[in-house]
Structure 1
Amino acid sequence: MIVLDNYDKAILKALQEDSSISNLDLSKLIGLSPSACLARTRNLKELGVIKQFTTVVDEKKLGIETLAFILVNLSPLNRETANFFVAQINRLPQVLECYTVTGNHDYLLKIVAKDMKTYRDFVIDSLMAIPGVNRVETSIVMSTEKRTISIPVEQE
């Protein structure tokens, strides 16, 4: 675990709110000189605390209407099948997130599709076509009440 001081935490909080903020504006916001702020930001990136700077896209504006969570079971569940499954999932742009989970299922996928027909085609033609996929169970998102990619960074 990396120990962060209040300046590092303030940088992370601000960048999670708006990663396009200029270094000058960021330095003013947190109360550091621009050079000290830039050095700390670079250090957080080098340490891997900041993984990437990104843009969050509103999928609805692009005509993507379906968001679903899919629970997947593999058979047989062994390292070879699991590694092959993950490699295939990483090639599918509709899959936004993939988690190995505990319980009655092996994986949890978060996927997007243009509409229900596109979603159905994805499940049949892409997901179920992966060797080892034995069973899928879907929950379609009806509405999103909260969504964030920000990790809470508490300041003392």
Structure 2
Amino acid sequence: MNITLDHYDKAIIHALQEDSSISNLVLSKSIGLSPSACLARTKNLRELRVIQRFTAFVDEKKLGIETLAFTMVSLSPLNREIANSFVQKINETPNVLECYTITGGQDYLLKVVAKDMSTYRDFIIDYLMAIPGVNRVETSIVMQTEKRTLSIPLDEE
């Protein structure tokens, strides 16, 4: 379902992607709408699930989390029951930040954080490989983050 956004909606989304803690009053002034109109539009964007939630962008290294990895997983056999069971287990795992079903030689791509490499190794061996159907795991360790954003680009009118 595509939703048509006008320049006010896009301005609201852009501002909230930059700083979701901005007050409605400041937001309304920055985009040139009355506070009530701005609040109504923001509420509508939330009801339409264009804006799904407001959250904090955390620096994991400052919390002692040193390892960020992209982990590719192959399931065997790959069927609906195994896939659903795998996704359910992954959704219960706090150190898996993101999970994508992908095409190509692997079935899933996971974004995983761990305190250190030893903790990551234990996660792979003791948890991930123990999930029924997990056949193969391939990992790319992030050495340095060059760009990180949650902002979705909006086309300009």
Short-chain TM bin? over 0.9
- Number of the residue aligned with 1:96: 97
- Number of the residue aligned with 2:134: 133
Unaligned runs of 5+ in 2: none
Does the CA contact (< 8 Å) of 1:10 and 1:155 recur in 2?
no
Q: Report SS of the residue matched to 2:130.
A: coil
Aligned mates of 1:60, 1:113 — CA distance in 2: 10
State the superposition RMSD in angstroms: 0.5
Aligned mates of 1:28, 1:142 — CA distance in 2: 41
> TM-score w.r.t. structure 1 length?
0.99
Query: What is the CA-CA distance between 1:154 and the residue it aligns to?
Result: 2.3
Query: What is the CA-CA distance between 1:155 and the residue it aligns to?
Result: 2.6
Aligned mates of 2:156, 2:35 — CA distance in 1: 21
Aligned mates of 1:34, 1:94 — CA distance in 2: 39
Which whole-Å deviations, capped at 9, do the CAs of 1:117-152 have from their partners, x for residues lacking one?
A: 000000011100101000000000000000100000
Runs of 4+ in 1 over 3 A off after TM superposition: none
Kindly indicate whether residue 123 of structure 2 is the aligned counterpart of residue 118 of structure 1: no
- Number of the residue aligned with 1:84: 85
Letter in 1 for 2:139: T
> TM-score w.r.t. structure 2 length?
0.98
Unaligned runs of 5+ in 1: none
